[in-house]
A = this chain, B = another copy of it.
Amino acid sequence: MGHAAPGIWDADPSEGLRVRPGFVLADVDTDSTPGYSGDKKTAVGHLAAGAAELDRLQEMLFANSRLGDNRKILLVLQAMDTAGKGGILRHVVGSVDPQGVEIAAFKKPTSEELEHDFLWRVRPHAPSAGMIGVFDRSHYEDVLIARVRELAPAEEIERRYDAINAFEQELVDDDTTVIKVMLHIGTDEQKARLQERLDRPEKHWKFNPGDIDERLLTPKYREAYQLVFDRTATDAAPWYVIPADKKWFARIAVQQLLIDALRDMELSWPVADFDVEAEKARLAAS
């Protein structure tokens, strides 16, 4: 599966950014660009070129689904505030035909949702055949904020890791390529981005006083993320930690993960399941 785009990546991000046994979040430099020796300017060009390829590959995936291919992709996006999930959605996912994308944003659970198991609200959003599904936050909040803010008993949190692994294995068994991404932003860069939201009135709507409350809990969140990686970085559904201080790097990295996943499918245009010449004759007569 080593297939980094020649000349763009020195090391395939599907390998270089992947969480392996022994991974230590605290060792990751949030300002680094592992595997990529280009700069912001080259990244802009690579993002544009990758957008066209990603769009074409997804269309091919969708085309095959019309003839019974059940494969699909699920991209799980997790991050602290301001780390750039929105930018990934806009600039990476947004380059794909919107008919081929299913985005589910998981916010604070409603009282109805809280009456059910934590996966109850997630399951209906598993992507359909031929689609790129994206979870903007996800069931991982139920072991992240739920752990940090003690929203559930400790033994329930413990149970959830296994439940998550079982759920994701189900998705994989249903022909889903699961790509789990944590955008990892540094505290200084986060401060600068929050400052910008406060300095610019047209950005005020993106700011919530709760963002600073969360920021103050960053050490606890990082502990919770480390546990997530320790418990749920499986062969079936791997995690990727992407240094996110440089937005341009995070974007080309996530894009490349998607492109690699689609390339691995070795897609081609599906063969017609009807008699082409007969249909041409019918059309001519119509």
Contact = CB atoms under 8 A, between A and B. Distances in A.
Interface of A: 63-64, 66-67, 86, 89-90, 93-94, 97-99, 101, 103, 105, 136, 191, 194-195, 198, 201-202, 204-209, 212, 215-216, 269-272, 274, 276, 279-280, 282-283, 286
A198 B282 CA distance: 11
Nearest to A99: B89
Contacts of A105: 99
A67 B136 CA distance: 20
7 contacts: A63-B206, A89-B99, A191-B286, A198-B280, A212-B279, A212-B282, A212-B283
A85 to B, nearest CB: 9
In the complex, the count of this chain's copies comes to 2
A157 B272 CA distance: 36
Contact of A204 (B101, B207, B270): B270
B205 A269 contact: yes
B191 A272 contact: no
A269 B201 contact: yes
A251 to B, nearest CB: 14
Contact of A191 (B86, B98, B136, B283): B283
B90 A215 contact: no
Nearest to A210: B274
A97 B94 contact: yes
Given A98-B94, A191-B286, A207 B89 contact: no
Contacts of A99: 86, 89-90, 103, 105, 136
Contacts of A195: 280, 283
A202 B276 CA distance: 13
